Amino acid sequence: MSKILYSLCGDGRGHATRVRTIVEELRHDNDIVIYAPQDAYDLLSPIYQDTGVEVRRIPCLHLLYNSRQKIHYWKTIWHGLNFFYQAPGLIQQLQHEIEREEPDLIITDYEPLLPRAASQYDIPHISLNHQHFLIACDLSSLPPYLKGHSIFMRNVVNLYSKNHDETIISSFYFPPLKPGFEYCTQIGVLLRSEIVQARIEHGDHIVVYLRRYATPSVLRALQGCGCDVRIYGLGALPSTGSLRFFAIDPYRFIEDLATSRALVCTAGNQLVGESFFLEKPVLAMPEHRNYEQHINAYFVKESKGGMIADINTITAEQLKNFLDRADEYRSHIDRYRQYGNPAALAVINRYLPNSKGIFAPRCFYASQAELSL
């Protein structure tokens, strides 16, 4: 039985969802320790309580928001400087844990401390995340304002993770790799078994996922769209007309999404990929100043599987137009391109002792037959 240390970063649910998907595939044949920050720790720790998987808390870099729930750049930068000031001590602590655990493999999802701690040891390291698309992919098709931000973010990603043995990029879109980055493995999103096994129907309700807040424009547009609206991410609030608010429940959320007409959401990579796998068009509303989400939203539009709206100015007419074209958007969705699990596991297995070492091509799309296995 192999020992795996797996660390993740991020303040949303996407990173934790990716990690949980891989851990569920590996945990029965391997001992796994997860290093998780904040929300991810709170999500994963109860799930793996009294199992063979141990979840440990780890500090991380994350975005900070102002009172209007917009990204506060100066506070975020100050938080980042403080984090890196503490980093040497945190890395030393992780080195002691590496020496104690003697892992066979380290996997990181956009987390900077564990790979630095492991750099002086002869341990294979796999980087599995979405953000590396900023480094490896040709983004020349982006509009000029997003190109500039992609260059800045690319430098940030370079600071996070270096010197790994394999790079796996998990994304709902597949820009071509730049020359020199052919070694990267492009895969779809990592799908929980509940998503893969969900029964798909095309009902009349829509599902909405919002992080932290909803602007007045969003609530007015949803109220005026003329259909049942099920909102997640804001908590279990009292219903308002056709708007119903639910606490995050992954099983109910998946059922609602799988049987919905469409998804309205902030533009997180993981959720868009899950929605496309379930054949649901996406109206993407990227958060203000969250330029990774703006890039994701651009590729939603480019895929023709949905459209973009401004979270601060969206109208009921825009939402109705999106819903009227739902069947058209759905016709452009190729759900099987989204299933990234087999390719990710094939790469990981090559580094685990006594594994089957299944080979996967550098860009892998699942077929219907493979999904039915």
Nearest-angstrom CA–CA distance, 157 and 136: 11
Q: What is the pLDDT of residue 86?
A: 76
Task: Match 């002691």 to its residue by tokens.
Answer: 96
Nearest-angstrom CA–CA distance, 16 and 41: 8
- Is residue 266 within 8 A of residue 210, CB to CB? The reply is yes
Q: What is the pLDDT of residue 76?
A: 59
Q: What is the pLDDT of residue 353?
A: 84
Domain 194-335 belongs in CATH node 3.40.50.2000: yes
- Is residue 183 within 8 A of residue 363, CB to CB? The reply is no
In terms of Cα–Cα distance, which of 268, 263, 277, 266 is closest to 306?
263
Class of domain 2-191+339-371: alpha beta
Q: What is the pLDDT of residue 364?
A: 42
Q: What is the mean pLDDT of the chain?
A: 89
The pairing of beta strand 282-284 with beta strand 53-57:
unpaired
Name the residue ranges covered by the structural domains of the chain.
2-191+339-371, 194-335
Q: What is the pLDDT of residue 230?
A: 98
Q: What is the pLDDT of residue 363?
A: 41
Enumerate residue ranges in the chain where pLDDT < 50: 64, 356-373
Tell me the pTM: 0.88
- Is residue 263 within 8 A of residue 281, CB to CB? The reply is yes
Q: Which helix (H) or strand (E) holds 246?
A: strand 243-246
pLDDT tens digits, 167-178: 999 999 999 999
**The dihedral sign for the CA sequence 264, 266, 268, 271:** negative
Task: Match 């001992």 to its residue by tokens.
Answer: 31
Other Cβ atoms closer than 10 A to 177: 19
Count of helix runs (H) and strand runs (E) in the chain:
15, 13
Nearest-angstrom CA–CA distance, 18 and 129: 8
Q: What is the pLDDT of residue 39?
A: 83
The pairing of beta strand 166-170 with beta strand 125-129:
parallel
Tokens linked to 295: 């890039």
Q: What is the pLDDT of residue 157?
A: 87
In terms of Cα–Cα distance, which of 60, 88, 57, 58 is closest to 76?
60
102 Cβ contact partners less than 8 Å away, ≥ 6 residues apart: 3
